[in-house]
């Protein structure tokens, strides 16, 4: 065994072996994998081996496509068979809602290069003759679906890695991880200690324990999962072709051919988290006892759907545990708060995702950043707010919803409310309907009637439509109030604050009392943040950005923070407050402060510290509604008194609370982008129009070379605003944009803009096609809708309201 290595990968399941292989593929040869038992000894050995590309996140789906296409290459390099069966797969729909869901997925696949197609009932029966088609209304066919041999595939990764210099130490448990001052780790194993520059936690079922060795909690939980293998069935083995994979979401089952019989797997509602308090180290290559009672309902449904099962016996039942994160996607990347400790765990579909996880991690470690936005599987999408109780509740919910339709307006209840602000009770008393992000509750809208108390999940306009419309109109005609707790907020102070911010932000820093907007770039020039910077004093700044990106941004800040001279604090949950927005916002502010808030004293993009309702506050003249507006920040314990002061003073001004649904509608008609929709690490400043905030004259900032290169050679696509001839469904995201019968772009977000009374979409199209009034088509739920391009904001195009 080596005593010093560049990377020690802990865990020899399919994921650890894929990471090892990809590190060698990217040229790192001094890499080892340490396995406590033998390769595949965790979840991997008993997997059903199915693979598919479907994922709600487009980049995750693309990485699943990468994984599936990789197997051939792996077989060629290693000479080891992966046991591939590329049989194609069908996801069936038994309701119109499911059909809408599949059509939306199909539309999304068009610009991702996935060749899925919608097929009718007859085609379903033709492709899968053993199915009973009763109640089926259609299906989505994916030619990439198939299955493989889990053990052969894992060994193929391992062999290919070994052939390029990697070493694998089996029967050697990692017992302790000791951080060293230079950022490396002492990996204490049963066979001795290895000094590793980097460690990768690919511990699968034991990833929580391997996290605890470094003092971190990784939010994942194993679940029991059962599948059955049938005896031989003549209807199956007498066919020439192998049957396709079948997913019956309504029945909660998946199905495929296994030799001369069938495999039926079940995601049951009555599901069981496994080993909630930790995975025992002595859990070996063993299965859990069957529990057919738990899956009886789904089995009955499966027997009705595939009648040939009725005459077949069951050869074996597999019940094994595998891990999930709270949202079902993997936990990948540098673990916030640690140096050189990488996560590659919570991979619930190792044979669909393992290759993409290995590729992403290798890019990140070797090249410094992944080649695409991987926030959907970034370990930093969960912060220290994510408790174990929350994880277990969400994992259970996720397992139950494995086949559920995901509606764009849906809010899932498990584990909530987790975090609330002092204003929560006020909103509740006013009929608020809540959503949550990054563990924090926020108001979506205020229900006016009992019918509006729960928003109906839908791809079409929901029952909240009118309530949201009223809130939008209140903002545009009087004044609205909305909580600003769900911004990530950071305080940066000290003699080195200005120089540091100037280096990590691409834009110009504001003068004292002013506000600037700036992108933050990776070295590659891609967007990793969209910040508002307020300068409160020469050496004191407040930054605001996405609430959900806190751990992501803090990880980046930590990487760049100098040893001294700068103090950085995440004040997201201690600094709360409200924005007031609309034509009467100034009149309202004037009533609750002694300070001069005239346009001359407090113009657009200025910031002052003042008393508001007798409370020390930071008041920023800015509003994401695109209207005359102010953000008022106070310490958390003063939030309720601030509300009371504003509410009392605003009564006769028509003050009305509004939620995030209205907020998103208002920003759309102003053409303002949102983080992780229009602005994310897949896009650049020029593509998104954020180049207007980049200070190209600055001598140095992270990403400068790439930003300059882009300025000199502009990108071929740009973000635009479209007005869509929609009926009862608006664009959401990822819908293809067509021109002359070809897909030329895609939507980043959309919705109904209530004030201008138009259905609006933001999206990318080729620069050459951009012209005022140019027409396109956007595919909404399988229907082509005319979309007209507008180069000016639909609301307040001359920014008179914003600046007036």
**What are the contacts of 766-771 at 24+ separation with CB within 8 A?**
766/716, 766/717, 767/714, 767/715, 767/716, 767/717, 767/718, 768/716, 769/739, 769/744, 770/718, 770/720
For residue 221, state whether it binds ligand FAD (rule: CB under 6 A).
no
For residue 479, state whether it binds ligand FAD (rule: CB under 6 A).
no
For residue 49, state whether it binds ligand FAD (rule: CB under 6 A).
yes
Determine if the peptide bond prior to 325 is cis (ω within 30°): no
The site string for ligand FAD over 147-176 (x = CB under 6 A, - otherwise) reads --------------------------xx--
For residue 350, state whether it binds ligand FAD (rule: CB under 6 A).
yes
Candidate list 47, 264, 492, 719; residue touching ligand FAD; CB under 6 A: 47
Q: Which of 226, 208, 331, 346 is nearest to 280 (CA)?
A: 208
What stretch of H or E contains 554? helix 550-560
Phi/psi at 132 (5° precision): -90, 115
For residue 339, state whether it binds ligand FAD (rule: CB under 6 A).
no
Closer residue to ligand FAD, CB minimum distance, 251 or 685: 251
For residue 358, state whether it binds ligand FAD (rule: CB under 6 A).
no
Candidate list 5, 9, 139, 202; residue touching ligand FAD; CB under 6 A: 202
Distance CA 531, CA 554 (A): 13
Closer residue to ligand FAD, CB minimum distance, 69 or 126: 69
First-residue to last-residue Cα distance in the chain: 71
Candidate list 24, 43, 253, 623; residue touching ligand FAD; CB under 6 A: 43
Burial of 792 (0-12, 13-18, 19+ CB in 10 A): exposed
3-state DSSP of 565-611: CCEEEECCCCEEEEEEECCCHHHHHHHHCCCCCCCCCCCCCEEEEEE
For residue 521, state whether it binds ligand FAD (rule: CB under 6 A).
no
Distance CA 656, CA 801 (A): 19
For residue 334, state whether it binds ligand FAD (rule: CB under 6 A).
no
Candidate list 347, 393, 620, 762; residue touching ligand FAD; CB under 6 A: 347
For residue 89, state whether it binds ligand FAD (rule: CB under 6 A).
no
Strand partners, 187: 177, 194
Region of 29-37, 387-395, 677-685, 709-717 interacting with ligand FAD (CB under 6 A): 29-37
For residue 204, state whether it binds ligand FAD (rule: CB under 6 A).
yes
For residue 236, state whether it binds ligand FAD (rule: CB under 6 A).
no
For residue 507, state whether it binds ligand FAD (rule: CB under 6 A).
no
In whole angstroms, the minimum distance from the beta carbon of 237 to ligand FAD comes to: 21
For residue 214, state whether it binds ligand FAD (rule: CB under 6 A).
no
For residue 588, state whether it binds ligand FAD (rule: CB under 6 A).
no
Distances (CA, A) of 45 to 21, 64, 95, 291, 691: 19, 20, 36, 20, 50
Region of 38-46, 368-376, 723-731, 781-789 interacting with ligand FAD (CB under 6 A): 38-46
Are 567 and 494 a contacting pair, CB within 8 Å?
A: yes
Q: How far is CA 392 from the centre of its chain?
A: 19
Closer residue to ligand FAD, CB minimum distance, 49 or 750: 49
For ligand FAD (CB under 6 A), the number of binding residues is 42
For residue 11, state whether it binds ligand FAD (rule: CB under 6 A).
yes
HSE-up (13 A, CA, CB side) for residue 531? 30
Region of 40-48, 68-76, 635-643, 785-793 interacting with ligand FAD (CB under 6 A): 40-48
Candidate list 28, 157, 227, 390; residue touching ligand FAD; CB under 6 A: 227
Distance CA 106, CA 110 (A): 7
DSSP state for residue 289 in the 8-state scheme: P
Closer residue to ligand FAD, CB minimum distance, 256 or 717: 256
For residue 736, state whether it binds ligand FAD (rule: CB under 6 A).
no
Are 142 and 114 a contacting pair, CB within 8 Å?
A: yes
For residue 519, state whether it binds ligand FAD (rule: CB under 6 A).
no
For residue 211, state whether it binds ligand FAD (rule: CB under 6 A).
no
Candidate list 50, 244, 519, 736; residue touching ligand FAD; CB under 6 A: 50
Distance CA 799, CA 804 (A): 8
For residue 584, state whether it binds ligand FAD (rule: CB under 6 A).
no
Torsion region of 567: left, alpha or beta (phi above 0 gives left; psi -120 to 50 gives alpha): beta
Region of 9-17, 53-61, 379-387, 568-576 interacting with ligand FAD (CB under 6 A): 9-17
In whole angstroms, the minimum distance from the beta carbon of 204 to ligand FAD comes to: 2
List the interface residues with ligand FAD, window 313-332 (CB under 6 A). 318, 320-322
Closer residue to ligand FAD, CB minimum distance, 347 or 686: 347
What stretch of H or E contains 394? helix 388-400
For residue 698, state whether it binds ligand FAD (rule: CB under 6 A).
no
Candidate list 5, 8, 41, 379; residue touching ligand FAD; CB under 6 A: 41
Candidate list 8, 34, 620, 632; residue touching ligand FAD; CB under 6 A: 34
In whole angstroms, the minimum distance from the beta carbon of 5 to ligand FAD comes to: 15
Residues 6+ apart with CB under 8 A from 539: 493, 494, 495, 497, 498
The total of other beta-carbon atoms located within 10 Å of residue 241's CB is 9
In whole angstroms, the minimum distance from the beta carbon of 272 to ligand FAD comes to: 12
Residues 6+ apart with CB under 8 A from 87: 145, 146, 147, 242, 243, 244, 245, 256, 257
For residue 210, state whether it binds ligand FAD (rule: CB under 6 A).
yes
Chain contacts with ligand FAD (rule: CB under 6 A): 10-16, 34-37, 41-44, 46-51, 173-174, 202-206, 210, 225, 227, 318, 320-322, 345, 347-352
């Amino acid at each position: 065994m080596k005593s010093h290595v560049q990377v020690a990968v802990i865990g020899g399941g399919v994921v650890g072996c894929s990471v090892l292989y990809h590190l060698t593929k990217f040229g790192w040869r001094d890499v080892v994998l340490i396995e406590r038992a033998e390769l595949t000894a965790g979840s991997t050995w008993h997997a059903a081996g199915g693979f598919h590309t479907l994922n709600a996140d487009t980049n995750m789906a693309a990485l699943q496509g990468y994984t599936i296409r990789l197997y051939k290459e792996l077989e060629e390099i290693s000479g080891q068979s992966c046991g591939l069966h590329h049989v194609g797969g069908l996801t069936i729909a038994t309701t119109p809602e499911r059909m809408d869901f599949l059509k939306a997925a199909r539309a999304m696949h068009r610009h991702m290069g996935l060749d899925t197609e919608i097929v009718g009932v007859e085609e379903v029966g033709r492709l899968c003759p053993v199915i009973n088609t009763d109640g089926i209304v259609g299906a989505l066919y994916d030619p990439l679906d198939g299955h493989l041999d889990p053990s052969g595939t894992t060994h193929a990764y391992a062999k290919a890695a070994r052939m390029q210099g990697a070493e694998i130490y089996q029967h050697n448990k990692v017992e302790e991880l000791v951080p060293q001052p230079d950022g490396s780790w002492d990996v204490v194993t049963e066979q001795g200690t290895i000094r590793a520059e980097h460690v990768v936690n690919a511990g699968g079922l034991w990833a929580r324990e391997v996290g605890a060795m470094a003092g971190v909690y990784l939010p994942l939980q194993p679940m029991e999962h059962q599948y059955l293998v049938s005896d031989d069935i003549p209807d199956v083995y007498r066919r020439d072709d192998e049957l396709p994979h079948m997913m019956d979401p309504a029945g909660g089952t998946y199905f495929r051919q296994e030799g001369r019989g069938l495999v039926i797997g079940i995601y049951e509602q009555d599901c069981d988290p496994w080993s909630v308090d930790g995975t025992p180290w002595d859990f070996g290559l063993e299965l859990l006892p069957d529990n057919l009672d738990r899956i009886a309902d789904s089995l009955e449904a499966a027997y009705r759907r595939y009648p040939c099962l009725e005459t077949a016996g069951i050869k074996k039942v597999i019940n094994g545990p595998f891990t999930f994160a709270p949202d079902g996607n993997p936990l990948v990347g540098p673990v916030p708060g640690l140096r050189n400790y990488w996560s590659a765990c919570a991979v619930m579909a190792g044979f669909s995702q393992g290759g993409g996880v290995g590729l992403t991690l290798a890019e990140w470690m070797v090249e410094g950043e992944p080649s695409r936005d991987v926030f959907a599987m970034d370990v930093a999408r969960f912060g220290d707010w994510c408790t174990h109780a929350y994880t277990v509740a969400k994992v259970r919910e996720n397992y139950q919803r494995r086949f559920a339709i995901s509606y764009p307006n849906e809010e899932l209840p498990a584990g909530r409310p987790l975090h609330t602000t002092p204003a929560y009770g006020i909103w509740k008393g006013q009929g608020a309907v809540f959503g949550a992000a990054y563990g924090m509750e926020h108001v979506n809208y205020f229900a006016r009637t009992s019918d509006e108390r729960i928003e109906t999940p839908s791809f079409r306009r929901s029952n909240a439509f009118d309530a949201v419309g009223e809130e939008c109109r209140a903002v545009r005609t009087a004044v609205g109030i909305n909580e600003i707790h769900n911004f990530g907020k950071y305080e940066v102070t000290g003699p080195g604050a200005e120089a540091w911010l100037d280096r990590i932000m691409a834009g110009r820093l504001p003068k004292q009392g002013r506000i600037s907007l700036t992108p933050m770039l990776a070295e590659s020039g891609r967007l990793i943040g969209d910040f508002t910077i307020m300068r409160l004093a020469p050496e004191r700044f407040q930054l605001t950005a996405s609430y959900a990106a806190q751990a992501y941004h803090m990880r980046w800040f930590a990487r760049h923070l100098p040893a001294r001279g700068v103090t950085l604090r995440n004040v997201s949950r201690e600094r709360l407050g409200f924005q007031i927005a609309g034509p009467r916002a100034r009149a309202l502010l004037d009533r609750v402060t002694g300070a001069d808030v005239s346009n001359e004293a407090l113009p657009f993009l200025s910031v002052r510290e003042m008393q508001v309702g007798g409370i020390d506050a930071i008041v920023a003249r800015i509003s994401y509604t695109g209207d005359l507006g102010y953000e008022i920040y106070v310490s958390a314990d003063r939030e309720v008194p601030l509300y009371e002061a504003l509410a009392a003073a605003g009564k006769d001004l028509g003050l009305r609370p509004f939620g995030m649904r209205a907020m998103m509608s208002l920003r759309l008609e102003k053409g303002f982008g949102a983080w992780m929709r229009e602005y994310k690490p897949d896009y650049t400043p020029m593509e998104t129009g954020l180049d207007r905030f980049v200070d190209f004259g600055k001598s140095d900032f992270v990403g400068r070379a790439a930003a300059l290169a882009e300025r000199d050679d502009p990108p071929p696509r740009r973000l635009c605003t479209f007005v869509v001839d929609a009926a009862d469904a608006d664009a959401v995201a990822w819908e293809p944009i067509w021109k002359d019968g070809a897909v030329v772009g895609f939507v980043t977000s959309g919705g109904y803009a209530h004030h201008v009374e138009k259905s609006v979409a933001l999206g990318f199209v080729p620069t050459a096609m951009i012209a005022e009034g140019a027409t396109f088509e956007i595919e909404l739920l399988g229907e082509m809708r005319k979309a007209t391009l507008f180069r000016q904001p639909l609301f307040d195009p001359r920014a008179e309201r914003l600046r007036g």
